[in-house]
Structure 1
Amino acid sequence: MKIHLPVHCNEIGLRESNEDAIYPVTPTEDSRLFMVCDGVGGQAKGEVASSLTCQGFSKYLSENPMEDIEDETYLPLALQSVEQNLGTYLETHPEAKGMATTLTFLKISDEDEKALIGWVGDSRAYHIRDGQILYQTKDHSIVQGMVEMGEITEEEALTHPKRNIITRAVNGTYPTRIDQKIITDIKKNDFFFLCTDGILETINDEIIALSCTEQASVEKIKSYIVNKAKGVTKDNYSMYIVKIQKTTSKNS
């Protein structure tokens, strides 16, 4: 399986500092691990939590190669290691108490032609084919819970005053859980789109889907989204766009 050179952004928005982090900072066509993190905690070092989480997961995968992408124990163990490292940081940096981060994780397996998606919080991952969203993560947030309970509609959730309150985050104080999904149906020209919630201030799911068509280049999609966000988005905004160039499947 081959991918086009991935594109990304990691921008400050209208904030005073950038608490988002991405991995890798400089992708290549050989990159197969991608992460976007949105640090929370403000003065409590959200930018440290997001950066340490990206570093921690990449280090864990390097030291403990993933033998089976469908091993459901792998990501929880990786998360446990990352949170232990955050806890160690807090022991020597008490001023960072309360720091945490969201995480969206994508690992592509060439051999299996599968992808593993993991997430904590409200940063998202999408699997898109020719303008149609085949899969998207569900936010760990107050408003998502309200939508699932039928208390509000998805449209009302977009403007709800509690829309930015998350119910899970990677942190070094209380263990959290990571949700995961294996994508087994991957074809040529499919997209994987990872983003922090700042991206969603100026575009919605429909725009994301319609931007990711067979003819669209990742560079053109990035340019469109960044131009929509620049000078408008209040939050930090970060994303990764990965387009499949070739698989060994038929018609691919």
Structure 2
Amino acid sequence: MISMSTDVGNLRETNQDRVAYKKINDDELLCVLCDGMGGHKAGEVAAQMTCDYIMDHFEEHEELLSANDIKMWFTNLIMEANNAVYAKGSENEEYNGMGTTVVVAYLKGQQMYVSHVGDSRAYIFKNNVLTQLTVDDTLVNALLKGGYITEKQAIDHPQKNVLIQAVGVTDLLKVSFCELPADYEAFMMCSDGLYNSLSNEQMIAILAGEGNAKVKTEELIKQANIHGGYDNISVILLEGGEAHE
């Protein structure tokens, strides 16, 4: 079963997150989550454009015969969305500098494929363990990878939320990709509004609890608002490894 929800949170005036999913057939499912950024309504424009582009154009691919085919197609879609958002921002001063994160997940049979840009995340939950699949495109992670700071310093670093790349901001994007068997108990995509308000332990308690995907999605957002709600909060939750609604 799949469920998705998005919430403005406690502090923001508008919701700049966008979520969508599409059941292509009994064997295939596509999910997209975006977290927009930019003044006025620019962030939501970037997020909506990116989400719509990927959802609208995904099925235009030739036959995807391998994981590398899927990786190349994901990269192509995200780069095309990036170009469209960047062009709109360049043409309109109101939208200048707008951007968005993106996570794309594609379930095909018993395999899950994931790509992302930014700091929205994908996780799998299995055997009471929550594993992050994506690596946040943040300045702190770049400093950590380069050996300039320690993991302890990274936890409370003043620039831990500064992104080093986002869709629509630059024409030089590095799109991540991973492939995994769909043998998890749950697969989750979320914006930073969720994981910045809830600890891994709090998320695990909800994912391991009673109720279906819809109940758990609603509880994740409810608890994120109770424990902060500092940003928009979005969740897409797929229980089991099958494309059932």
Common fold by TM > 0.5 = yes
Q: What is the total number of aligned residue pairs between the two structures?
A: 238
SS in 1 for 2:107: strand
Shift of 1:192: 0.8
SS of 1:42's equivalent?
coil
Cα distance, 1:163 vs structure 2:
1.7
Q: How big is each residue's C-alpha offset from its partner over 1:63-87, in whole Å with a ceiling of 9 and x where there is no partner?
A: 2255235023221211222123224
State the percentage of identical aligned residues.
24
Match of 1:221 in 2: 216
In 2, Cα distance between the equivalents of 1:98 and 1:160?
Answer: 25
8 Å CA contact 1:20–1:50 kept in 2: the answer is yes
2:168 to 167, 171, 179: 171
Counterpart of 1:107? 106
User: Which piece of structure 1 moves more, 43-52 or 166-175?
Assistant: 166-175
* TM-score, normalised by the number of residues in structure 1: 0.83
Structure 1 distance, partners of 2:140, 2:233, is: 20
Are residue 126 (structure 1) and residue 123 (structure 2) matched? yes
Q: Does 1:243 align with 2:242?
A: no
- For 2:46, give the aligned amino acid: A
> Following TM superposition, by how much is the alpha carbon of 1:246 offset from its aligned partner in structure 2, in angstroms?
5.4
Change (3 A) 1:132 1:108: same
SS at match of 2:174: coil
The structural deviation recorded for 1:37 is: 0.7
Matches within 5 A, 1:1-252: 4=1, 6-13=2-9, 14-24=11-21, 32-43=29-40, 45-64=42-61, 67-68=64-65, 70=67, 71=69, 72-90=71-89, 92-110=91-109, 113-154=110-151, 156-171=153-168, 173-183=170-180, 185-187=181-183, 190-213=185-208, 217-230=212-225, 232-244=228-240
CA contact (8 A) 1:38 1:123 kept: yes
Confirm or deny: 8 A CA contact 1:10 1:20 kept in the other structure: yes
Name structure 1 gaps, 5 residues minimum: 248-252
Tell me if the contact between 2:75 and 2:175 (Cα under 8 Å) persists in the aligned partners.
yes
In structure 2, the partner of 1:250 is none
Q: Displacement of 1:161 after TM fit?
A: 1.7
Equivalent pair of 2:19/2:234 in contact (CA under 8 Å)? yes
CA distance in 2 between counterparts of 1:115 and 1:152 reads 33
Distance 1:66 1:241 in 2: 27
Deviations 1:175-199 (A, max 9, x none): 312101011x222x62111000011
Counterparts of 1:215 and 1:245, CA distance in 2: 18
Structure 2 residues not aligned, in runs of 5+: none
Contact kept, 8 Å, 1:9 with 1:240, in 2: the verdict is yes
Whether the 8 Å contact between 1:12 and 1:235 is mirrored in structure 2 is yes
Counterpart contact for 2:3–2:217, Cα < 8 Å: yes
Q: What SS does the aligned partner of 2:49 have?
A: helix
